[in-house]
Structure 1
Amino acid sequence: MLNSVFARRLYLCWLIANNERPNVPKLMALSGWPRRTLQDVLKALPGMGLELAFVQQGVRNNDGYYQIESWGPLNPQWIDSHRQQIIGAIE
């Protein structure tokens, strides 16, 4: 059984990888999580060995989206195939 904190991180990785231009408002809508929870999970991803980049678009400082540049030790195919188990561990 997956730990809910770890499952949240895996699910966020899946959301970032499987949605076009995932920014904070879009990720909030997709996950149903409050902004603070989402920001905390985003901040924790590099600690798992994942390389996350914010692609700046537009004039404002926070105009842009997230993308995964390197999955590090994570296997995106495993996350994809176990997505329902991951979601179940979060709920």
Structure 2
Amino acid sequence: MSLSMNSVFARRLYLCWLLNNEQKPNVPKLMEITGWPRRTLQDVLKALPGMGVGLEFVQQGVRNNDGYYQLSSWGPLDPHWIERHSEQLLAAIEHG
């Protein structure tokens, strides 16, 4: 099955999948996994609540940025669809 998708939207869906499947995902860890620049990750994280996705930062440690992100709600997104299409989402991102 071929998946035609805007790479910006695919990036958002893929990041949701990572946030749900990685252990304590923070920006440095997500940068390592995705290869995306810090600014790109921060922009995508900022965009998720605008899509209706519940996103929380769990503070851990004394510094403001010590902690990790977690989804509190998928909003209108279907996590099962995203799981089934994660490889195709990656392909859309790479070719976008």
Task: Tell me the TM-score normalised to structure 1 length.
Answer: 0.98
Residue in 1 that maps onto 2:51 = 48
Residue in 1 that maps onto 2:27 = 24
1:19-78: CA deviation from partner (whole Å, max 9, x where unpaired): 000000000001100000000000000011001000000111110000000000001111
Question: Which of 76, 79, 82 is matched with 1:76 structurally?
Answer: 79
Unaligned runs of 5+ in 2: none
Question: Which of 8, 20, 23 is matched with 2:11 structurally?
Answer: 8
**1:54 is paired with a residue of what secondary structure?**
strand
Using the aligned pairs only, state the percent identity: 74
Q: CA RMSD in A?
A: 0.5
Equivalent residues, number: 91
Structure 1 segments (4+ residues) deviating >2 Å: none
Residue in 1 that maps onto 2:36 = 33
